[in-house]
Amino acid sequence: MITLILIGLNVLIFILTVISDPAFLLTPSIQAIVQWGGLEVDLVMAGEWWRLISSMFIHLGAIHLLANMYALYTIGFFLESIVGRVVFLTTYLTTGILSGLWSFLMHQDTFYVSAGASGAIAGIFGAYIFILLTPMIPKASRDKLLKNVGYIIAVNIGYGATKGMNIDHAAHLGGLISGLCIAGIFYLFFYLWSQKFKTIKKMWLRWGSMTAVFVLTLVVSFSTLYNRQFSDYAIFSKLTKEFGDVEKEMWKDLNELPLCQSTPQALTKFETNITHKMQSLRRIKEAMVLLQLQGKKDNLRNYLIDYMHLFDQEFHFTQLSLQEDTLKYKSEIIEIGKKITQLRQSFDASFKSH
């Protein structure tokens, strides 16, 4: 019953995301994923902890949804029939939260967005494997059930092959390990103890152990995330993303200037749309200078600082040209453009050599 409800809920949310943005059917944008509750590292660090739960129900395309729901359907009904609804639901939600938490910890120094039920499914998969290795399952049934494990692994490998590196392995590992642990707790407190202490009601053991597990999960998540500070690498990733967004908008506005019918109109557009964006780039550059970075991140930071410096110079001469309605700064603007091109080529060659 819980398995069907979870499948229905995932499908319903997916339909809603597709209605809001048809791109969700194949490859949604990062902005859309975040808007719908995807796990974005800097937002979680900023206090939006609820994303550890919401991200479990957001899928990145129909194939992603089908692969996860097939795994949930295949494992879910069997595991739920063995451990019961309370334990199954607790395992799903708890491992989903812990897999998201582990993904956050592994990617906290990067700009990273994750979504999907695969962490929670890895959790019930871990519980499924643990239960198969206990006397709770007759030996005669194990071979057939282990074949199901093989089918599920094959489906996930096939899906992984289509997505390349865009797989959150940290979430899968976190879910798998936490699922094994929760199944171990269930086996100890419910199966073994209920055999030894006949007078203790099984329902009490089930509810008590799973309530303790869920509360402990919330405590661990809270204590891990509470008052957590951004590292310089996390700040750099956030600034890099902001730089990309601002630069894209600035180039769009700059390319539209020649379309203006007069110099005053171009100047008005320039000062209205571009000036405050340049101020944002200056703020980003100043923040990047203060960061303590090493290796490729340091090289990228230095490149971006040099790029923004040249961009600022081009902005200055373009503004003067419009204010004075003159072409006498054209040579300076062209020369700066050449330096920007050389800087880009040097940067590309440097990173390709690595």
- Is position 172 annotated as part of the catalytic site? yes
Burial of residue 296 (CB within 10 Å: 0-12, 13-18, 19+) is exposed
Q: Left, alpha or beta for 115 (phi > 0: left; psi -120 to 50: alpha)?
A: beta
- Is position 331 annotated as part of the catalytic site? no
55, 103, 114, 118: the catalytic one is 118
59, 64, 107, 172: the catalytic one is 172
Residue 113 β-bridge partners: 40
Residues marked as catalytic: 118, 172
